Structure 1
Amino acid sequence: MATLLSLPREIIHRVLYFAAPASRKQFRLASGLSGEIGRKWVFESVQISPVKKSCEGFKRILDDPNLARSVTKVYIDTRDPDRESSVDGYGNQNEDAMPSDDGEEGGDEFPRPFWSLVGRLGELPRLQSVALRFDPECDGEEDDWNEVEQSIEFRHSVLCKVFAVLANLPRLPTELAIQDLQNINPTDPDVKRDIEKVLGGLKSLRLNIANEHSDGNGEHDIEKEALHSFFPTLGSTWLAPAAANLEHLTLYSNLFIGFFPICDITNIHFPRLKTLALGNYTFMHDSQLDWITSHGSTLQELYLDDCPILYEVKLSAADTARTLLDKDRYKPHPRIVGDDLYASYDKRWCSYFGAFAEKLPHLRHFRFGHSPAWWQDETTPFEAETGITIGFDKESYMTYCEGYGPSQYMRSMIWDVEDEEEKERNFFPDYDCRVQPSEGDIAALRALLRRTGQEVELDEDGKNCNPPSIYH
């Protein structure tokens, strides 16, 4: 430690910049001098949740001017991140949880001491970034019987209160992240005004969307009306107010979006966008590719996490109006019985990668593949886009086949056929996937990675030769 402390302070700070949080804490406790130097890195990012220990710790930081000046980021957790204690709408709290405002355990309101501390965020003079984190499991108005930790009403109330605080800070945050934002759009004019005010000052926005999900009947998830009212308006509600200044945009969903439910953001341009990350976003139209490349004058980083190209789709005539494609793109198909309609897409990943190489001249970092962080803590990857394992996987090309489960998104189309052997192959699509990553796809990915200076070894199938151990 004495050798490290003999270095110039700017070098010590550089070392701490790359150090893990646990190492920073150890360094700070080593001596008085290391404590002074390490304070910035230990208290740069802090967390508050509605449990007694967390609130007491956050209050100590607020009450100490030196510590308060160190904080640049605050995580507002609506539950204990370690899940050792939780505040919810059903009275399920442990002994560390604090009573709600009405003096009873539980309820949809957080305890008054917690909200009092959140209301003091303005006392952090260097605060730049705020992350609001909900529970990944959510219910809907149609499933009142399914008691999850956090109801729609609970989430809506928290969202309104947090944005009211943020909108009235002496200096608006420049970074905002919301983990497991359920697909609800506040309609109250005052709340909308607060949201738009906060979004208008952002340089970085991360939205991880949580949707209702049934492990036993996953094919019904996409039928929920909330999806089809939320995602078509996501752009106008959450993205357009931030468009002028935004430099970083991350958009993830726990269900596939883009094609169906429709999430068309191609009419929103971000003139300063440097980083774009998409998770579970499906490609089915050239306008989506053109939208990405339209940011070629600024875009430097692009992350595509479990983002498939849909090469074939079939769905009911009634649902065609709620998809990314125009209705005239759908036609009857000789192998489809009944009123379902069919559409296909002829673009392949080699076309996308070639366009990125040609039309994104400032691109310096590109990751396409699957993040090992998917479903850790039962949720989507959060602040983890740089950890995507590069390479093709089984979901690089997919189809949408309405009426089948556990998900309508699958590797191959299930046709209406009489031949029993073909029926069996349909239900084991891994053995009969018509579209696989081609040699051209793999060559185009390698060429793009070389252009960005990334050394990634891919095998003949385009898979990563050195995936992390938790890759799945």
Structure 2
Amino acid sequence: MTQLTIDTAEYTDTCMDTYDWEYRDEELLLSFLAVLKKLGRLRNLRSVTLRCSSECVGPQQRRHWWARNVPECIKFRTDVLQSLFAGLNASHATPKLEHLCIENLQGCGNETVARSRDFRAVMSRVRKLDLQITTEDVDGDGSLPANLGKKELHSFFGHRLVQEWLELVRNNLTHLKLYSRNMYFGYLPKCHLPTFSALRSLTLGGMSFNHDEQLNWILSHRDTLEELVIDNCPIVIGVRIPSTLDSDNYPIEPLFNSSTTGSILAPSSFLYSARWRDYFSRFAVGLVKLRSIRCGFGDWYDNTAFPKSMELGTGLWAQRYRILDDGEWRRPRFGEHGSYDGKWSDPPVYPDCTDEDWIALCEVKAAIASRLGG
């Protein structure tokens, strides 16, 4: 056996309300963890996928009605991760594991796991890392401003994702797939990713671009990058938020949905002038080893974009430009006859650059074709 998938999500979203922690079979759970600790006996194991529940409850274990039906608390997830890495780093295990995929890793960080010897030893051998981050829905109703207000969310994307996971693999990683399941990351929550010296394949899902620094980060892999996949990653052309902004236009103290939080700060705003035509043109010239590019909008509505990322085609997508208004991600309005449900008196207009975006994307494809001798 060279590949193994472990699925801990015992119930689908349609039957979550039938689950009750009071009736969890503790003996069965202990047996399951014991099996994970013996995975090192699979001597030819090269790829492991761990699928966790998409529903999670934060460190404060918030007591909303829906939280009672969340099957995987932080302790459960910690026990599973610890047992998994212990098994993969057992004394009888052979260091053949190269690919690690975790679907629905909880976005709050876990010092117990990150500091363990087993975790660090296993990660030092990983060459291909796939991570999909899932985050807590505070009120159980998908309220974005409330969810963005969680400090652990900003801490995770701001530094724990990098320090606890990515820094350990930055010198040996050849393939990285990084998705956020239920919210955009990049600007809010802020996320600065490290450069990977050997990276050949980069797949991003749900990352928002709002500064040239992020474009330059992709271009910093020019000497190694051969494949680039961009799935539902919008350029943020405008931000309006009730917070003071720093010199780089990031909120110093994020306060969201001022109508509900009672914020008395005057809204701050900024515009970002780059368009996809600029990004694609830079890719065509700067990514000199690129052999494949795919971009678009995957199966996000069915929550299968992450596992189906290989099926993504290449083209322009309607959601490729967004604005952030008072904690809510919105589509810019389409000129005089378009629709817009935001509160700005004069919000940014959807960029009229479809032809230019498409021409620039074709430039990338042409550069790849010439490189491949096509």
2:191 matched to 1:294? no
Counterpart secondary structure, 2:209: coil
Residues 370 and 390, structure 1, Cα contact 8 Å, conserved in 2: no
Distance 1:92 1:397 in 2: 46
Distance 1:142 1:315 in 2: 28
| Structure 1 residue corresponding to 2:74, chosen from 119, 135, 152 | 152
2:6 matched to 1:76? yes
Give 1:293 deviation, angstroms.
0.9
Higher relative contact order (CA 8 A, sep 6+): 2
2:55 matched to 1:137? yes
Number of equivalenced pairs: 344
> What do residues 224-282 of structure 1 show as CA deviations (whole Å, max 9, x unaligned)?
222111111111211010011100001100210000101111xx221110100000000
Residues 229 and 295, structure 2, Cα contact 8 Å, conserved in 1: yes
Q: Which has the larger radius of gyration?
A: 1
Residues 180 and 205, structure 2, Cα contact 8 Å, conserved in 1: yes
Give 1:302 deviation, angstroms.
0.3
Distance 1:216 1:202 in 2: 34
2:129 matched to 1:205? yes
Relative distance call for 1:167 and 1:442 in structure 2 (3 A) is same
Equivalent AA in structure 2 for residue 399 of structure 1? I
> 1:331-346 counterparts in 2 under 5 A?
339-346=266-273
| Structure 2 residue corresponding to 1:347, chosen from 274, 288, 311 | 274
Task: Give the equivalent residue in structure 2 for 1:464.
Answer: none
| Structure 2 residue corresponding to 1:235, chosen from 156, 162, 180 | 162
Counterpart secondary structure, 2:363: helix
> What do residues 171-229 of structure 1 show as CA deviations (whole Å, max 9, x unaligned)?
25211010000013222388443322221111100110001134352332211222111
Identity %: 30
| Structure 2 residue corresponding to 1:450, chosen from 363, 366, 373 | 366
Distance 1:242 1:384 in 2: 24
Q: CA RMSD of the aligned region, Å? A: 3.2
| Structure 1 residue corresponding to 2:330, chosen from 410, 432, 438 | 410
Task: Give the equivalent residue in structure 1 for 2:235.
Answer: 309
Equivalent AA in structure 2 for residue 239 of structure 1? L
Q: If the length of structure 2 is used for normalisation, what is the TM-score?
A: 0.82
Distance 1:260 1:400 in 2: 9
Distance 1:437 1:221 in 2: 33
Equivalent AA in structure 2 for residue 446 of structure 1? C
Name structure 1 gaps, 5 residues minimum: 1-70, 94-98, 102-109, 329-336, 414-420, 455-472
Relative distance call for 1:380 and 1:402 in structure 2 (3 A) is farther
Task: Give the equivalent residue in structure 1 for 2:108.
Answer: 184
Relative distance call for 1:296 and 1:123 in structure 2 (3 A) is same
Relative distance call for 1:375 and 1:191 in structure 2 (3 A) is farther
> What do residues 365-410 of structure 1 show as CA deviations (whole Å, max 9, x unaligned)?
11111113x243xx4523322211322222101111115xxxx111
Equivalent AA in structure 2 for residue 152 of structure 1? I
Residues 34 and 83, structure 2, Cα contact 8 Å, conserved in 1: no
Relative distance call for 1:326 and 1:228 in structure 2 (3 A) is closer
| Structure 1 residue corresponding to 2:119, chosen from 195, 198, 206 | 195
> 1:41-120 counterparts in 2 under 5 A?
71-80=1-10, 90-91=21-22, 99-101=25-27, 111-120=29-38
